[in-house]
Amino acid sequence: MSMIERIRLKIEEHLSPVKLEVKDESYKHEGHVGSKPGGETHFSVVIVSDKFIDKSRLEKHRIVHDALSEIMPDIHALSIKALTPEEATKG
């Protein structure tokens, strides 16, 4: 199973997102610390979930990190955009 699939599975399982985008951006970091041949080290996620309602930005990121705790040791970098459905509709 690819790392994108693993990330997607964990987020869907823990956060029941109404929208989820997971991108492997490892190609942007080739030759940098933490990169490895074949990529799958640097990711960005956009998550829209009711689980983020009434949470600060820091709390949202902690929720995502908790959901991915089992696989975080295999991820070198993770960019997170975590929104409530209301925040997502505001643009």
Paired sense of beta strands 77-83 and 42-48, if any: parallel
pLDDT at 13 over 70: yes
pTM over 0.75: yes
In the chain, the amino acid numbered 87 is E
pLDDT of 34 strictly over 60: no
What superfamily in CATH does domain 3-79 come from?
BolA-like (3.30.300.90)
**pLDDT value for 91:** 64
pLDDT, greater one: 36 or 49: 49
Q: Are 73 and 61 in contact (CB under 8 A)?
A: no
Phi, psi (5° rounding) for residue 18? -90, -20
